[in-house]
Homo-oligomer: A and B are copies of this chain.
Amino acid sequence: MAQKPSIPKGTRDFSPVEMARRNYIFDTIREAFRLFGYKQIETPAMENLSTLMGKYGEEGDKLLFKILNSGDFMRDVDSQSLADRNLPRLTSEMCEKGLRYDLTVPFARYVVQHRADLQLPFKRFQIQPVWRADRPQKGRYREFYQCDADVVGSESLENEIELLSLIDMVFSRLGVRVCIKVNNRKILTGIAETIGEADKIVDITVAIDKIDKIGIDNVNQELRDKGLSDEAVEALRPILSLAGDNSSKLDALSGILASSEIGMLGVRELREVIDGIRNLDPKCDVEVDVSLARGLNYYTGTIIEVKALDVEIGSITGGGRYDNLTGVFGMPGLSGVGISFGADRIYDVLNQLDLYPEEISTDVKVMFVNFGQQEARAAARVINDLRKAGVAAMLYPDASKMKKQMAFANSGNIPYVAIIGESELAGDSVTLKDMQSGEQSTITRDELIRRLA
C-alpha cells in the first residue's frame, strides 16, 4: 500500500484560508510598492551556482540548495574527489545550478546583466520565494517569501525617507503597531573611532543592545572581557546612556562624536532622514537606535529595522544603504538602498493578533441548489449573468439531497443560497436565502443580480 504522502520538512502547503490571508498581506505590500513607483521584476528560481556561491559567507554556501545536473551528472566527476569524498569539489562537479537564497544577489545580477536597458535611478520591487537549507524550526522555513524594494543609482537620502514612509504605509494599513528603528553605519564607525577601538564595532554594538536587559555594569564588564581598555569603556558610557527623543539623541551624538568626521557625517545623515520622515506625519513610531547593527558588513549608511510592538518576534522588516551592490559582478560604484518585508513573520504577527479584515474570504457569495438538469440549466444562466456582474457564484454540481447541498453551503461559509426549483422555473423567479439571518424571499432574476452585485 502507498504510504500517506508528505512534503519535505521545512516546507508548507497553503490552504485556501491561508492563501486568502497571505494574499491580503502580499496585496497590501504590492500596492504600497506601486504607489511609491517601484517596478516589479521576477528572476528565475534557479541561478548559476557561480552567481550564488561566495555571496553569503561560508555558512551561506552550505545553506544553498544545489540542483543535480541533468543527464550524466557524473561526467565531470574525477576519481580523486570521489575517493576523497570531497564534498565541496563533488558538488561543483555535479551541480551547476542552485535555488536562490535571497532576492538581493539575483537583483544585483539582474542589474549588471540588463544594465544597457535600465534607466537609473532604478526602483524595483520583487516578491518571490527563496530557499535555504536551514535547520527547520518554529517560524523558520526552508521555503519562504521575501518582498524587496530597492532603488539603485541614487545617493540621495530622499530614498531613505521614502522607504520609511513606505514601511509606515504598509504597517498602518495592516493595522500592526510597530516601531521603525533607524541608525547609520557611519555613526557606529564614529563611535568605535572616538573611543579608540575601531576594530571592536561588533562587540560594542552587541553591548549597546544589551543595556536594557543586563544593566550598564554588566555591559561594561563584558566589554572589558572582550579586550576594551578602561578608557574606552569609560568613553562609551555617554553613548550607552543615550536617552530622550530623537532630537535629544542626535544632539548628544553630535557632542560625543565631534572629533570623528565620519561619525558627524552619520549624525547629519540620520538627522536629515529623521526630519524627512517627520515631515510626512508617519503613523508609526520612528526611533533613532544606535544599537541597531543589522548587516554590519554590508550596509554603509542608513540601517532600518522594524519591530512589532504587540508580539514577541524578531525583526519583521529591515534594510539599509549599501555602496557596492554590483561590484562582485564587475560593475563597481553603484549605490543603493532597500528594504525587505519578511512576509512569513508578518503573517505570523497578523495570525497571532487576528488582524485580518472581515471581508477576506475565499468563498463564493451565492450557491445555487441543484435540482436536476432542467433546473440546473436555468440556474446556470443566472450564474453566468452573476459572474459577468462580478459576483462569485456556483452551482452545486450534483443533484444531491437538499440536506447535503445545504451542509456544503453552511460549512463553506457561503452567505447566500439560491433556489430555482419547479415553481421558480415556472415563474421565471428565484428564491434567495440569507444563510445568516435565515430570511428568504422569492424575487425576479434581475432583482437577484441587483441585490448581490
Using a CB–CB cutoff of 8 Å, the interface residues on chain A facing chain B are 1-8, 11-16, 19-20, 23, 34-37, 39-48, 50-51, 62-63, 65-68, 70, 72-74, 82, 85, 87, 90-91, 94-97, 99, 109-110, 112-114, 117, 119, 121, 123-124, 129, 131, 133, 142-143, 151, 154-156, 158-159, 161-162, 165, 169, 272, 276, 279-281, 328-330, 362, 364, 367, 370, 373, 376-377, 380-381, 384, 387, 390-395, 397-399, 408, 411-412
Residues of chain B within 8 A of A408, CB atoms compared: 119, 121
Least distance between A163 CB and chain B CB atoms (Å): 11
Interface pair B109/A5, CB less than 8 Å apart: yes
Among B2, B97, B156, B387, contact of A329 (Cβ-Cβ < 8 Å): B2
Interface pair B109/A70, CB less than 8 Å apart: no
Residues of chain B within 8 A of A50, CB atoms compared: 5
Interface pair B34/A158, CB less than 8 Å apart: no
Q: With A23-B40, A48-B8, A82-B82 known to touch, is A70 a contact of B329 (CB < 8 Å)?
A: no
Interface pair A395/B162, CB less than 8 Å apart: yes
Interface pair A90/B74, CB less than 8 Å apart: yes
Interface pair A156/B397, CB less than 8 Å apart: yes
Least distance between A133 CB and chain B CB atoms (Å): 4
Interface pair B159/A43, CB less than 8 Å apart: no
Q: With A143-B46, A156-B398 known to touch, is A37 a contact of B124 (CB < 8 Å)?
A: no
Among B5, B328, B329, contact of A51 (Cβ-Cβ < 8 Å): B5
Q: With A11-B44, A113-B5, A381-B279 known to touch, is A37 a contact of B364 (CB < 8 Å)?
A: yes
In the assembled complex, the Cα of A3 lies from the Cα of B331 at a distance in Å of: 10
Interface pair A47/B8, CB less than 8 Å apart: yes
Q: With A40-B362, A394-B37 known to touch, is A330 a contact of B380 (CB < 8 Å)?
A: no
- 15 A-B pairs besides A37-B392, A46-B131, A165-B384 with CB distance below 8 A are A2-B329, A6-B48, A7-B43, A7-B44, A11-B46, A15-B117, A34-B392, A35-B391, A35-B393, A46-B65, A65-B70, A82-B82, A121-B397, A158-B398, A162-B397
Least distance between A407 CB and chain B CB atoms (Å): 9
Interface pair A276/B377, CB less than 8 Å apart: yes
**Which residue, of A8, A43, A384, has the highest number of chain B Cβ atoms within 10 A?**
A8
With both beta carbons as reference points, the residue of chain B lying nearest to A366 in the complex is identified as B37
Residues of chain B within 8 A of A48, CB atoms compared: 5-8
Interface pair B279/A377, CB less than 8 Å apart: yes
**7 sample A-B contacts, Cβ–Cβ < 8 Å, listed by A number:** A4-B329, A15-B117, A23-B40, A36-B387, A45-B99, A73-B91, A82-B82
Residues of chain B within 8 A of A151, CB atoms compared: 397
In the assembled complex, the Cα of A46 lies from the Cα of B39 at a distance in Å of: 28
With both beta carbons as reference points, the residue of chain B lying nearest to A133 in the complex is identified as B70
Residues of chain B within 8 A of A39, CB atoms compared: 16, 19, 362
Among B47, B117, B380, B397, contact of A279 (Cβ-Cβ < 8 Å): B380
In the assembled complex, the Cα of A397 lies from the Cα of B117 at a distance in Å of: 20
In the assembled complex, the Cα of A3 lies from the Cα of B113 at a distance in Å of: 10
In the assembled complex, the Cα of A364 lies from the Cα of B143 at a distance in Å of: 32
Residues of chain B within 8 A of A82, CB atoms compared: 82
